[in-house]
Structure 1
Amino acid sequence: MTFPAANRTPAAEPAPEAAALPPAATTEALTAWAAEAAGGRLADCAQISGGNRCRSWAVDVETADGRQPLYLRYAPPRPPSGEPYTVRREAQVYRALDGTDVPAPRLLAEHDRHEAILTERAPGRADYRRIGPDAEKTSVAKDFVAALARLHALPGDRLAGPDVAPAGDMRACVARELEIWRGMYAETDRRDPLAELALGWLEDRLPETSGAPVFVHGDAGPGNFLFQDGRMTALLDWELAHAGDPMEDLAWYSMRSVMEPTPDFAGRLRDYAAAGGAPLDLSRILYHRVFVTTRVVIIRHRNVTGEPGASILSRALNRRLLAGALAEASGLELTPPPWIEAPDTPQTAFHDGVIDDLRARIAGRVEDAEAVSAAKNAARVLKYLREVDRLGPVVEARKRAALAALLGDAPEAVSAGEAELLALHATGRVRFAQALPYFAAAAAWDAQLAALASGGMARRGFPDLPPDLPPDLPNVL
């Protein structure tokens, strides 16, 4: 499988120089704009997230009607990209939600020059995993699925604007999203064989449904809603919203519940259906489990943002989830490879000493939250490097041996062997049911390299779906 020619710079021609980006807006200029847009004066401002992609602030503005809690979101200038998910597009999503019964913050203003928007700031917190009693987690989750049902009652063509593609039927919407994400993958001009295998599988198995699309959140689940006093207060993070298949949001919910588990996930899907949501369709949920994890794998492959430690955890987890999602959606039973046992190396004690210093002598003795976060991130990276030093040669040898069993000869490098395996699969000489077990094993071995850094996430999988949904899986054997 090769990259589309339109997404590559020909090797014989030098790449054009990137145009200079306009200067980023300052915090002072953005908060002054927010206060003016809200019709008052700035009373308080605290940055609540930051990075290469978007920055956000909790802004309080004093107005004639009292102190207004607001949310300011800004994307700094970045090079041109095939990715359509911008803050300006997100403003169109908020406009489409205005006047509906979907619990979402209201858009108050959009900057005329910068990629910045100002919305209401809903009450509550987002750390669902920190809720103690299961009963409270369940009540919040029930509110969440009821909100999804209300969202999915909105027709997909309600979401329209200059930066949003027209709806079409549901299958066309899924195909368009797939084209977008293939383009986002291709513009990296770096190969990821597992992502390519998944993209090909998704293209070959587009859901056969011509139903009308609905308004889809595009990243639904724990972490992207607020809650307070046992009730959900608002759905957040609408940047990936689009017209599409409601089963996609249930797949996102499933994926995000790996990180922040929902009690009785299958029961919550039944609650969704009882609240007036779309009829549950197992084959489409399983299809979209593949698609949503492919998206996250591509995001990590693009490496747009993220702390290195978090990226290591996300990459290992989501590649393992993707291989498992492909197997389940294809009706394949995979046997996980045995856990690798290997002795310590001369560097293991060195790594352990530095990790302990970061945990006890730095993170345990400072009060600055940013410094503690940086120390924990560095510790995750060192835990990963410790295992790469200890287990890396064994993982490399096992991958080459597994590839040799499929190709006939051991490849000079794993990357070359994986490329050859994909080429043989593309021509039909290696079946999907032969190729996937290799990629699943490789993902499991890579996950073991990150297991020490991942903690309890190292062995988590998707939550169970309702067992009474009838299977309708493709024959790939």
Structure 2
Amino acid sequence: MNPHDLLPTGLAGAVEAASGARVVAVRPRGGGGASREGAELDLQWPDGRAASAYMNYDVHKAGAGDDAAFLREAAVLRALSGPLAHAGVRVAPYYASVPDQRALVCGMVSGNDRFGGIIDTGQRDALAADFMAQLAALHRIDVAASPVEGMGPVEPAETFIRRRIAELRAGNSGKGWDPLIHLSLNWLEANIPADMPAPVIVHGDAGPGNFLYDGDRVTALLDWELVHYGDPMADLAMLAIRMLFQGFVPLPQAFAAYEAAGGHKVDLPRLIYWRLLFQTSFARRSRYDDPDAPPPPNLGMNLVYSTIHRRVLSTALADAAGIALPPVALPDAPLGAHDKSFAIALGDIRDTIVPRLADQQAAVKAKGMARLIKWWRAIERFEPGFHAAEKAEIEAALALDFPDYRTAWAAFRDAVAGNRIATDAAIILCNAHETREATLMADAMGSLADTKFAPLQ
């Protein structure tokens, strides 16, 4: 088989043109979380040089960020591999990029990415301190004196915030208009921090799972797709968000290590603001039933991440606004009519399909399919009762009666959009909705079902 056939049409040729090397082998791999697909490549240059590389790609452009974000990612890796290498920020060496397919090719770096698998406390503490020192080194780069070519103008953090809020508002429109996103953006716009420091390079997705290590030393920071100029507290906020999914050392310990390594003074109110802004960005509702939406690399995991981000956002927004959330009614229900067939399908995937898959990428997608089946099973069993409870809550809040749940939900959305319902009541209803949506996804989430923000102090 031609190794080019293991990649989307034309991608291998585009990599060869960009890198000047021939792609002699391709090994498909799972990509960057729910955002991107991936492959290991063996490259051969005309002068005889050879190297193994890792390529992330998103040919459908269904993942995080946009084309401009991809160009920033490629630019910062090119800079940190070359003219800014003296800063000491460890990255995989940049080889090539293919912007129109969002493909990024970098050299392979040895190391493990499973921080949560470290048992030795001393190793965990030392490695976490080295990671925080890497963030401090990144934030010390003087971008006023050495702006990164290809990353765009160096702008104040407030400019980034206002543009991001405007982008999120523009994206929250049409039939997918979302009251939770609208309410969060209202709070964010009214509470932009004052007196932020001069902008630095912000990794944008820093935390466990996005760095490689060997022993107690970081070998490379990974996944720069959200890199931008901004407030250093933004990276500490992202660390807190990534800890929703992967364990790390306690945040006060991490913050102390960051300051000790020459990082900026930790400002918790600013950090909390950035955490809410990023959480709002990640919490946009997945709309893959929309015929116009591109297919994601892994629908099952995409829905898991989206559901968690939305539930956590609804709680964080209430926290920021000083709203006490009441308990959410979660009516029980008997097993659904098709429960046995769902169980058989899950057993087939677990016991027969996945164990026989030699292709790692196919195995990842099969596990994603199992998550979908668990979700569909919960929808059949619990959704009617959840909808009935939510309809009653909306009717009480709006003092109106509705013939069915869909009509009630549409009326609630309209009331939020038209500012005809108190903000506190609207946030409480959004939290109840997201809590129920997360309950439907709970079996598919596994150990992530109850995840929440780690304490900041």
**TM-score, normalising length from structure 2?**
0.84
Counterpart among 11, 29, 42 of residue 13 in structure 2:
29
1:276-291 → structure 2 map (5 Å cutoff):
276-291=262-277
SS in 1 for 2:243: helix
Counterpart among 420, 423, 431 of residue 432 in structure 1:
423
CA distance in 2, matches of 1:222, 1:173: 25
Q: Aligned-pair distance for 1:94?
A: 2.4
CA distance in 1, matches of 2:65, 2:439: 33
1:46 aligns with 2:27: yes
CA distance in 1, matches of 2:35, 2:154: 27
Residue number in structure 2 paired with 1:92: 75
The more displaced of 263-272 and 247-256 is 263-272
CA distance in 2, matches of 1:182, 1:384: 29
Residue number in structure 2 paired with 1:101: 88
Q: Aligned-pair distance for 1:179?
A: 2.4
Q: Aligned-pair distance for 1:110?
A: 4.6
Counterpart among 126, 134, 143 of residue 130 in structure 2:
143
Amino acid corresponding to residue 462 of structure 1 in structure 2: F
Q: Aligned-pair distance for 1:234?
A: 0.9
Counterpart among 392, 401, 412 of residue 383 in structure 2:
392
Counterpart among 219, 239, 242 of residue 256 in structure 1:
242
1:327-406 → structure 2 map (5 Å cutoff):
327-406=318-397
Q: Aligned-pair distance for 1:403?
A: 0.8
Residue number in structure 2 paired with 1:175: 162
1:142–1:268 CA contact under 8 A, matched in 2: yes
Q: Size of the alignment, in residue pairs? A: 438
Q: Kindly tell me: are residues 444 and 311 of structure 1, through their superposed partners in 2, closer, same or farther at Cα, counting changes over 3 Å?
A: same
SS in 2 for 1:221: coil
1:205 aligns with 2:196: no
Residue number in structure 1 paired with 2:41: 59
Cα deviation 1:26-55 (Å, max 9, x = unaligned): 354245446635xxx656442334699755
2:130–2:216 CA contact under 8 A, matched in 1: no
Counterpart among 48, 66, 74 of residue 83 in structure 1:
66
1:96–1:159 CA contact under 8 A, matched in 2: no
SS in 1 for 2:170: helix
Amino acid corresponding to residue 146 of structure 1 in structure 2: A
2:304–2:445 CA contact under 8 A, matched in 1: yes
1:311 aligns with 2:311: no
SS in 1 for 2:421: coil
Amino acid corresponding to residue 138 of structure 1 in structure 2: D
CA distance in 1, matches of 2:238, 2:285: 15
CA distance in 1, matches of 2:334, 2:99: 60
Q: Aligned-pair distance for 1:395?
A: 0.8
CA distance in 1, matches of 2:364, 2:130: 32
CA distance in 2, matches of 1:146, 1:456: 30
Q: Aligned-pair distance for 1:331?
A: 2.7
2:29–2:361 CA contact under 8 A, matched in 1: no
CA distance in 1, matches of 2:321, 2:99: 48
Cα deviation 1:447-471 (Å, max 9, x = unaligned): 11111111111111111111xxxxx
1:125 aligns with 2:112: yes
Q: Kindly tell me: are residues 321 and 135 of structure 1, through their superposed partners in 2, closer, same or farther at Cα, counting changes over 3 Å?
A: farther
Counterpart among 236, 245, 258 of residue 222 in structure 2:
236
Amino acid corresponding to residue 319 of structure 2 in structure 1: E
SS in 2 for 1:119: strand
Q: Aligned-pair distance for 1:75?
A: 4.7
CA distance in 2, matches of 1:375, 1:70: 25
CA distance in 1, matches of 2:365, 2:415: 44
Q: Aligned-pair distance for 1:159?
A: 4.7
Structure 1 regions of 5+ residues with no counterpart?
A: 1-22, 467-477
Structure 2 regions of 5+ residues with no counterpart?
A: 1-6
1:137–1:230 CA contact under 8 A, matched in 2: yes
Amino acid corresponding to residue 58 of structure 1 in structure 2: E
CA distance in 2, matches of 1:415, 1:242: 40
Identity %: 29
Cα deviation 1:371-427 (Å, max 9, x = unaligned): 433432222111111111110001101111111121012444545544544554456
**TM-score, normalising length from structure 1?**
0.81
The more displaced of 350-359 and 130-139 is 130-139
Residue number in structure 1 paired with 2:52: 69
